[in-house]
Amino acid sequence: MESNFKEVKGIIDSSNKIVLTTHVVPDGDAIGSVIAFYEYLKLKSKSPVIINHSPTPFNLKFLDKDNSIKVFLENEKENAKLIEEADLIIILDTNEYSRTRSMEESIRNSGAKKICIDHHTGIKPELYSAYISNTEYPSNCSILYDYIKADNDKFITKDIASALYVGIMTDTGSFRHPRTDADVFVMCADLIRKGADPVSLYENIYAVTTMENLKLSARFIESLEFYYDNKVVIGNVTQKDFRDLGLNIDHVEGFSSIIMNILGIKIGVVLVELKDNIKISFRSKGDINVSELAKVFEGGGHKNAAGANVKNVTMPELKNEIIKKLQTYLDS
Ligand SMILES: [Mn+2]
């Protein structure tokens, strides 16, 4: 067992009331992490609770069989008390208190020991009594797999195996992102032997579209316009689309991937008309830095993914402006 594994284990062994949490807008790795560790701590005869800032996304709810995940603001007083009176708080799949949003202050003020298990950069050791932070891992659930296995392989029950599998599958983009190596498959083979069902887990998470959602994708695809030798694509979703189909911005998730999967595309732009502004999402491939472009519209982001919000402009006006800016941008 790695030395920081031992340190973490020592603190967990000496704690009983344990609060587990993860980041805002939790993904499969976040929910997989809290559920797997919750089940593991129960097997260790601890008293764990899960409290998150965000509600669990509907396609991940099946992992929370007993509906045990609490949403902090839904019962702020009681949840703050649980955090205050805990022996230990374990933060999973993020190392920043601020990513627990509404819970940040309670966590900061609690006298409980704090542990972080995470695979992102930027851990601040002074915030934690002990931590496992390793950016080599493709998902937080793969760290938890190694941790639980190092404790006792028998703790990886079917439910825990399923939760861990979900975290690994989703954080590796279904086994296609760069850190998908042989170890990932060895780990997943073991999880499948222990009861994780790759077919139903995939279907639960990804095969969850609705007719309205599909119609919104159709309208979005219909709106696509191509520029600059088909290297640039712009698509939009309007308030009318949302109204007609009874949907909202949550349902635009994944539209950037649709356009970035088009062969030869270098820059993709998704425009979403909201009540009083238009949200721009820029995506790019390789060395094209769209965060520069986002800055032109007073936004920001990363090299290959950035965004901005623009007010007092119509959809056609904004489109024209972006296309013009792209001209100089591609030329330079
Ligand atoms: Mn993760």
Determine the pLDDT at residue 308.
95
Specify whether 47 is located in the same domain as 154.
yes
Of 148, 175, 206, which closes a domain? 206
Residue 59 sits in the same domain as residue 155: yes
Q: Which pLDDT does position 331 carry in this prediction?
A: 64
Residues 174 and 237 in one domain: no
Distance 244 CA to ligand 1 centre (A): 35
> How far, in Å, CA of 261 to CA of 256, rounded?
9
- Same domain, residue pair 162 and 190: yes
CA of residue 285 to ligand 1 center, whole Å: 22
DSSP per residue, 87-139: SEEEEES---GGGGGGGHHHHHH--SEEEEEE-SS---GGG-SEEEE-TTSSS
Ligand 1 centroid vs 139 CA: distance in angstroms? 5
Range of the domain at 92: 3-206
273 Cα to the center of ligand 1, angstroms: 30
Tokens of 191: 């999880």
- State the CATH number of the domain containing residue 150: 3.90.1640.10
Task: Give dist(CA 245, CA 238) in Å, integer.
Answer: 11
**Position with higher pLDDT, 31 vs 305:** 31
DSSP code per residue over 202-268: HHHHHS---HHHHHHHHHHHHT-EEETTTTEEEEEE-HHHHHHHT--GGGGTTHHHHHHTSTT--EE
Phi-psi region of 233 (alpha: psi -120 to 50; beta: other; left: phi over 0): beta
Gap from CA of 85 to ligand 1 centroid (Å): 28
- With 0-12 / 13-18 / 19 or more C-beta atoms within 10 angstroms meaning exposed / middle / buried, residue 37 is buried
Using the predicted structure, report yes or no on whether residue 330 has a pLDDT greater than 80: no
pLDDT of residue 302: 78
Q: Same domain for 276 and 229?
A: yes
- Same-domain status, 17 and 140: yes
User: Separation of 136 CA from ligand 1 center, angstroms?
Assistant: 12
What's residue 332's pLDDT?
A: 54
Dihedral sign for Cα atoms in the order 127, 169, 33, 154? negative
Residues 76 and 185 in one domain: yes
CA of 27 to the centre of ligand 1 (A): 8
Which of 206, 228, 246 is a domain's end point?
206
The residues, ordered by sequence, that sit 6+ positions from 23 with a Cβ below 8 Å of its Cβ are 30, 53, 93, 94, 96, 99, 100
Model confidence, pTM: 0.75
Q: What's the gap in Å between 159 CA and the centre of ligand 1?
A: 19
CATH assignment of the domain containing 258: 3.10.310.30
Q: Which of 32-41, 129-138, 181-190, 245-254 has the lowest mean pLDDT?
A: 245-254
- Do 289 and 321 lie in a common domain? yes
Q: State the pLDDT at residue 253.
A: 79
Residue 119 Cα to ligand 1 middle (Å): 7
**Percent of the chain with pLDDT strictly greater than 90:** 85
pLDDT given for residue 132 in this prediction: 97
Model confidence over 93-120: pLDDT tens digits?
Answer: 999 999 999 999 999 999 999 999 999 9
253 and 194 share a domain? Answer: no
The alpha carbon of 22 and the centre of ligand 1 are apart by a number of angstroms equal to 10
Assess whether 190 and 216 both reside in one domain. Answer: no
| Domain's final residue, options 206, 237, 252 | 206
283 alpha carbon to ligand 1 midpoint, in Å? Answer: 21
Number of compact structural domains in the chain:
2
